[in-house]
């Protein structure tokens, strides 16, 4: 087909003598700009600020949640610790009470054992203690008799005052004491009821410093030996005999 030139002349059709050449497609054109690329610098700054604000708020919320969790955990731990202490305290009190009861029972057992041993020792030693007391008492009485002649008078007067319930009174005394008693007859007579009779009789069986008094209602052994017998009964828990 004839071609027209720019001057309106007809250009004769020309034939291509050469082989066709393959042309490579161009691919290095600048890419088309997106919406984000078209944002202004101010718009990009605002976007960054909003993003940072959102991130900051998220971090703050996360910190608040984390702090609340920490506080709750601390509260749980403290509560558990207190409960543990209370349980431990109660357990400690219970254990301490049990131990105290055990110690108290042991102390009571030890005290009972000590008392038992003490009683046994006393029971074993009692006869010896009584004999010792009697020996000492006898020595004391003998010493008193030898140093105080009026001892027999005091003993006889005491017996007469105690036996004040008869019409006839007989005082038996050792020969060494007869003279002293006879000299004190009046004083001894005043110790018995009016109208009652009083006699002083020698008896070698009666030891010095003592006497035996007989009435129409009974008799009283106030000899040294008799006093020791009564003392022995008293020490052994028995009752003395009089009349």
Break the chain into its structural domains and give their ranges: 40-147, 149-235
Helix, strand, coil share of the chain (percent; to 5): 60, 10, 30
Please report which confidence band the pLDDT of residue 6 belongs to, taking 50, 70 and 90 as the band edges: very low
Residues 152 and 180 sit within 8 Å (Cβ to Cβ): yes
In words, the CATH class of domain 149-235 is alpha beta
Model pLDDT, residue 58: 63
Please report which confidence band the pLDDT of residue 81 belongs to, taking 50, 70 and 90 as the band edges: low
Q: Which 3 state secondary structure label does DSSP give 169?
A: strand
Q: Is the whole-model pTM more than 0.85?
A: no
- Tens of pLDDT, residue by residue over 57-69, are 666 666 666 677 6
- Pairing type for strands 168-173 and 197-202 reads parallel
Question: Does residue 240 surpass a pLDDT of 50?
Answer: no
114's CB contacts (< 8 A; 6+ apart) are: none
Q: Hey, what are 86's tokens?
A: 């209370």
């Amino acid at each position: 087909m004839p071609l027209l030139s720019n001057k309106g002349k007809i250009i004769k059709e020309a034939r291509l003598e050469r082989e066709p050449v393959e042309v490579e497609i161009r691919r290095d054109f600048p890419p088309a700009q997106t919406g984000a690329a078209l944002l202004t610098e101010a718009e990009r700054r605002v976007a960054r600020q909003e993003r940072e604000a959102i991130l900051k708020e998220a971090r703050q919320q996360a910190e608040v949640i984390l702090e609340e969790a920490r506080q709750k955990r601390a509260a749980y731990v403290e509560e558990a610790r207190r409960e543990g202490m209370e349980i431990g305290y109660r357990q400690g009190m219970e254990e301490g009470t049990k131990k105290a009861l055990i110690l108290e029972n042991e102390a009571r057992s030890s005290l009972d054992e000590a008392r038992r041993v003490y009683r046994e020792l006393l029971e074993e030693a009692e006869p010896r203690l009584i004999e010792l007391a009697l020996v000492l008492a006898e020595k004391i009485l003998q010493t008193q008799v030898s140093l105080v002649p009026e001892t027999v008078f005091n003993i006889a007067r005491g017996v007469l005052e105690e036996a004040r319930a008869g019409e006839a009174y007989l005082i038996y005394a050792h020969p060494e004491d007869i003279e002293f008693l006879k000299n004190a007859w009046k004083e001894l007579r005043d110790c018995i009821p009016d109208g009652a009779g009083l006699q002083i009789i020698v008896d070698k069986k009666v030891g010095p410093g003592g006497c035996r008094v007989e009435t129409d209602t009974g008799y009283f052994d106030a000899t040294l030996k008799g006093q020791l017998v009564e003392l022995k009964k008293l020490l052994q828990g028995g009752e003395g005999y009089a009349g």
